[in-house]
Structure 1
Amino acid sequence: MRFLLSEYVNLLKEDGELDTLITDLLVAMKCVTISKPQRGRQYGVDIAAEGIDVVDSKKKIFLFAVKQGNLTRSTWDGNINAVRSSLNQIRDSYIPISLPKTKSNLPIKIVVATNGVINQNVLVDWAQYINQNSTDDIEYDFWGTGELSAMLDEYLISEKLFPTEYQSLLRKTLAFLDLPDYNLSHFFDLLDLIFSKQFKQKRQIQKKLRLARLCLNILYKWSHDINNLKPAIYGSERTVLRSWHFLQSGNHLDKKFVSKEFYQIYLLKRAIGINYFNKVHKHYQTEHSLYRYSRNSLEYGLNLWHEIGIISEIGLSEIQQFKIYFREEKKEDSLVFYNSATSIANALCMFIANNPPAKYPNYDEHGIEIALALQLLCLTNNTETAKIWIRNLIVGYKETYHIQKTIPLFIADYDRLVDIINGDEKCNIDSSMIIPILAEHAIILEDADLYELIRKVVEDDVFKDLNLQIWFPTRKMEESIFKNNYSKVEGKLKHSVTLYKNLEEYRTEIISEVELYSVEKEFKVVENGFDNILFTASRHYRGQPFPYTWRKFIKLNTKANH
């Protein structure tokens, strides 16, 4: 946290930002401000306050000269606005003229506060000045980035760190965080506000990205404190997505410093995910582990599919890290991440096996979770578990209709789902995007018998009107992926998908469609090596999964077979 704070503090301007933050810090330290920042210094003083010094627990007057950046030769003693000149003014003019007489009996601490450090070649001058001008009643101190970050961490990890327009939204986020149904709307609005305006200057771009990362870290800390990391999971997803949209829409992706800043946000998201997994993974070994956290069997099923998506994305993030390190030829490090992904995938296998609702998706949009989970299982060599799960899913699809007269609702609607389960409404057999996903993964897994089982279920007379569909993205919708439910209003839909008797015929059709429709492979997020963000966007916004993410393996398998 202190590292994040120091990065943020380093980017603050002297007037209106750094001095305001120091004023808020003093208030948090229970100091009473005598004079606040204003245009033009008053005899070298930017801020004056009265309070207890945390160093020796004595009541003192604090007089601040606020400067921006490092204390260098030129800023120390170069002109009338230099630090030395300000200190002389404070000693010679402010203390005898402007300091209230009622405060004259208190010892004084004069503080030079900057968002930097004292350069090595100025340390001797600084030390000599202190030695020559310190008295029994006047002492000097330096608050640089390190000192400010430490005090901010201890006294002011709250909304006061931020500009006024952000404070209300962050305050509301933290106030509502422990409510079970809180949807983080204020945090999402805060991110929209942070990224609402584009900048060309490096400093401003860095400031926006670091501010977003700091907000996420505060959300993470508070989520940890209330023992519920799910808000941090959702917040990290939105932060990554909005950050990427900000960078792509502003044409910043080709700037070298940008990739470093974004990667820090991405790593924070990964850290939150790993922390969440470490906290809950033991529950995956217990049968019906989620039922105790659900009010009824329906909620049990919905919670389970939600959890499958979270686990899968955490595991796929580890796969992404593996790819990054492998590309950089850091093979030993890359194996650490692959082993981590394998451990998460193994836990997912246990979770699916121990919770029967994993055979019965409630909504057709649970194809999102199925696609993510199968991707992770296939990439970690859990192919047998993947085959068993696909078999259970397609058998469950048929059984659910014959027993309960229902199939996964094509449009998610909780009230309608309840009515159908209670027998108050009939379930229409209309469309399915889940079944093509299952069939195509059967092809990836080279299991002709499994493909045939899926095809025969679809051929059942009761499913003769079932319209199999698959969604494809278009080039023009690339930026909208990171802002909303992209597949709801954009993209192309292939309907009346046919599962041919000959598996190879379907494979050939897929390969030709990869060439024609798989535009996502040309998206900048993929070209920049962050294709995992497509999974994040799909799960977070409930957008359809991107077919190329699994279909590319069908093409690769074909090449391998020839």
Structure 2
Amino acid sequence: MKIILKEYLASLKERGDLDKSVLPNLLSEIGLRVLNTPMIGTRQNGVDIAAVGKVKGEDKHRYLYLFCIKAGNISRSDWSTGIQAVRPELDEIRDVYLRSNIAREYVDLPIKICLCCGGELEETALMNWAGYTDRYTTEKVSYEEWNGDRLADLMMRCLLARELLEEEPRRNFQKAVAMVNEPDACYEYTRAFLGNLLREEPESKKDQLLKLRQSFICLHAVIAWAIDAKNLESAYKVSEIGMLFCWNAIRKRDQKKRPTKHDNALMFILNQFLKLYLMASEIYFEKTAYAYGGTPHALSVAVRSRESVDVNLAMFELLGRLAIRGIWTDLFFRGLPDADPEFLKSLAESTNRTLDTMVSVINSNPTLSSPIRDDHMIEIALVMYLSQLTQSESRFLPWLKSISHRTTFALITNSQYPTCLSEYADLIEHPESSEQSYLDEACVGSILYPYVYFWMQYMANEKDTAEFTERLMKKIPNCTHQAWFPDEDSDDLIWCGETYHGVCVTDVSPHNGHEALVDTLNKSIETCTAITEISAVKAGLIPMFLTACRHYRLPIPPNFWFLCT
């Protein structure tokens, strides 16, 4: 276990990994109170992280800890020059930070200046370090080396020790790391160790924080190895499930006007899970959709399958992931009006880039106009929800109109029309017969057709609308057209993958006309009010709920079909 941790720590980058993700959690768990973490664009005066307190089992007195953090190993060439230069930052701590940055309440505390790195201080730099620390050590100021070996020891002792990280989650974590090249296996083992740590009610607030920190460190390690192995599919999937499990673990906290210290710690950890997800998704899209979305058929060919079903499934999966990322970045943009203008600008640019990429992906891959699974309504609804948030519906209405035509035309020609069958073997054979009995089985229910028909009043003329309903009536007259709403049990079940909950509204058939459809939906929205009690919705984190719907293949409720309804 320690070898795995040391290799993981050595692979971390200074900015965003070691200093913002791993070390703050570790310091909090070993007994220190973190005073500040680094911010991009601000002067640090040599100190990446400042903390105060006593390290459990080591310190007898309180110290002010000042950390100068570097990535990987530190060699002699890193001592005085280069991006990793150590001495200039140590000098800055001594000449600037100690003179002007220490708060009055900590002025009398003894100080430990720690050179921290994920790797080790190489032999060629040891004499420089020894000479420097010998020269500047005083009664009040001392120096320590926190290398990968020490960090791994602290993790084993305070975060991932045998008595804290029990046998089963530790075994599943190690298997997840070993299987980073196999996305499905890596996902299942990651889900298992997150479940081991976070599914049960914690014994205390302290225990809750410990398990969340353990989960984050383990998840971060799995993602770091997946990225290092260039398996971005694994990195994306486990980052998403980690975010959902984290929310499930903290959603029952009391939402008080004045948050307690514990509440702040929980929100800090949630923020780290969210950042990890956004980082993993950014890397994933940089190598896929952002890079090749505008090249005709490039992403479809990259699926590397002769089966059109594989291409269709993969492209809709990609489209849904893009839409969810855009919804998240748009939420942060709207929810942080007082944030740094440069940061807000980057969020707006990220959302616009996602929208542009989605348009390019749709135009370059015609399979996206012919969904083969009925539950591809989820991806379509997420795209349209994002388009409404950004007032760019006009960019996607032609695509939605094409879907309305192609899906019903496929019914007429008996050629891979949308089906509610979900097993891969069934999809490969679909349609295996043109008999009405098979049609009735393959289209026994639909969430796609009511959604598409709902939008036709905004994108189609009377002729197109009539043709759409006539084809449905002719080919699948017995199909139960439906919509889904969460119920009172949904908030307890949805975050960890339980799907047997919610309310199904069945009287939404296109045959009844637009007015009847809208009337039924509005009445259902008024009646099925449990969605307002969903923890993420109450907290203003609607993207969290939509992420869970997409991840676990639950329909998008009509509350999010059209924002003006």
Counterpart selection for 2:450 from 432, 436, 461:
436
CA distance in 1, matches of 2:232, 2:241: 15
Match for 2:212: what amino acid?
L
Counterpart selection for 1:322 from 312, 333, 339:
333
SS in 2 for 1:294: coil
> Partner residue of 2:180?
177
> Partner residue of 2:482?
469
Does residue 1:203 correspond to 2:206, yes or no?
A: yes
Aligned residues of 2:485 and 2:528 also touching (Cα < 8 A): yes
Per mean C-alpha deviation after superposition, the further-off stretch among 257-266 and 529-538 is 257-266
Aligned residues of 1:451 and 1:503 also touching (Cα < 8 A): no
> Partner residue of 1:137?
none
TM-score, structure 2 as length reference: 0.70
Distance 1:263 1:365, change over 3 A: same
Aligned residues of 1:6 and 1:149 also touching (Cα < 8 A): no
> Partner residue of 1:484?
497
Distance 1:495 1:68, change over 3 A: same
Counterpart selection for 1:401 from 400, 408, 411:
411
How much has 1:122 moved relative to structure 2? 5.2
Match for 1:217: what amino acid?
H
Aligned residues of 1:406 and 1:420 also touching (Cα < 8 A): yes
Distance 1:450 1:402, change over 3 A: closer
Counterpart selection for 1:227 from 227, 230, 237:
230
> Partner residue of 2:25?
8
Distance 1:442 1:404, change over 3 A: closer
> Partner residue of 2:268?
260
CA distance in 2, matches of 1:381, 1:125: 53
Task: Find the structure with the greater CA-based Rg.
Answer: 1
How much has 1:389 moved relative to structure 2? 1.2
> Partner residue of 1:162?
160
**How many residue pairs are counted as aligned between the two chains?**
444
Does residue 1:285 correspond to 2:301, yes or no?
A: no
CA distance in 2, matches of 1:350, 1:9: 43
Distance 1:343 1:122, change over 3 A: closer
Distance 1:158 1:454, change over 3 A: farther
Aligned residues of 1:485 and 1:543 also touching (Cα < 8 A): no
Q: 1:519-534 to 2 correspondence within 5 Å? A: 519-534=530-545
SS in 1 for 2:504: strand
Match for 1:260: what amino acid?
F
CA distance in 2, matches of 1:341, 1:450: 36
CA distance in 2, matches of 1:160, 1:329: 35
Aligned residues of 1:377 and 1:383 also touching (Cα < 8 A): yes
CA distance in 2, matches of 1:467, 1:419: 23
Does residue 1:148 correspond to 2:146, yes or no?
A: yes
> Partner residue of 1:39?
none
SS in 2 for 1:475: coil
Unpaired runs of 5+ residues, structure 2, are 1-16, 32-53, 65-105, 114-129, 135-140
> Partner residue of 1:380?
390
Aligned residues of 2:320 and 2:383 also touching (Cα < 8 A): yes
Does residue 1:337 correspond to 2:347, yes or no?
A: yes
Distance 1:453 1:168, change over 3 A: same
> Partner residue of 1:68?
56
CA distance in 1, matches of 2:558, 2:521: 10
CA distance in 1, matches of 2:111, 2:518: 75
> Partner residue of 1:97?
none
Match for 1:219: what amino acid?
V
CA distance in 2, matches of 1:125, 1:390: 62
SS in 2 for 1:285: coil
Does residue 1:452 correspond to 2:452, yes or no?
A: no
TM-score, structure 1 as length reference: 0.70
How much has 1:387 moved relative to structure 2? 1.1
Match for 1:323: what amino acid?
R
How much has 1:153 moved relative to structure 2? 6.8
CA distance in 1, matches of 2:287, 2:157: 27
> Partner residue of 2:305?
295
Distance 1:531 1:74, change over 3 A: closer
Aligned residues of 1:362 and 1:408 also touching (Cα < 8 A): yes
SS in 1 for 2:425: helix
CA distance in 2, matches of 1:354, 1:124: 60
How much has 1:154 moved relative to structure 2? 9.0
How much has 1:464 moved relative to structure 2? 2.3
> Partner residue of 2:249?
246
CA distance in 2, matches of 1:282, 1:151: 38
CA distance in 1, matches of 2:561, 2:471: 22
- Superimposed CA distance per residue, residues 446-493 of structure 1 (whole angstroms, 9 cap, x where no aligned partner): 76659835753555422322321111111232111101142xx21111
- Superimposed CA distance per residue, residues 505-548 of structure 1 (whole angstroms, 9 cap, x where no aligned partner): 54344333322224213322111111111111111112222321
- Identity across matched positions, percent: 18
Per mean C-alpha deviation after superposition, the further-off stretch among 433-442 and 187-196 is 433-442
Does residue 1:545 correspond to 2:551, yes or no?
A: no
How much has 1:329 moved relative to structure 2? 7.2
CA distance in 2, matches of 1:221, 1:200: 30
Per mean C-alpha deviation after superposition, the further-off stretch among 284-293 and 329-338 is 329-338
Counterpart selection for 2:362 from 343, 348, 352:
352
CA distance in 2, matches of 1:430, 1:321: 40
SS in 1 for 2:336: helix
Distance 1:538 1:276, change over 3 A: same
> Partner residue of 2:117?
none
Match for 2:368: what amino acid?
A
Q: 1:31-180 to 2 correspondence within 5 Å? A: 67-68=55-56, 71=59, 73=61, 121=108, 123=110, 147-148=145-146, 151=149, 162-164=160-162, 165=166, 166-179=169-182
Distance 1:181 1:341, change over 3 A: same
Aligned residues of 2:29 and 2:158 also touching (Cα < 8 A): no
Distance 1:333 1:550, change over 3 A: farther
Match for 1:257: what amino acid?
A
Match for 1:529: what amino acid?
G
Match for 1:480: what amino acid?
L
Aligned residues of 1:511 and 1:554 also touching (Cα < 8 A): no
CA distance in 2, matches of 1:310, 1:538: 12
How much has 1:347 moved relative to structure 2? 0.4
Does residue 1:517 correspond to 2:505, yes or no?
A: no
Q: 1:487-502 to 2 correspondence within 5 Å? A: 489-499=500-510
How much has 1:432 moved relative to structure 2? 1.1
> Partner residue of 1:104?
none
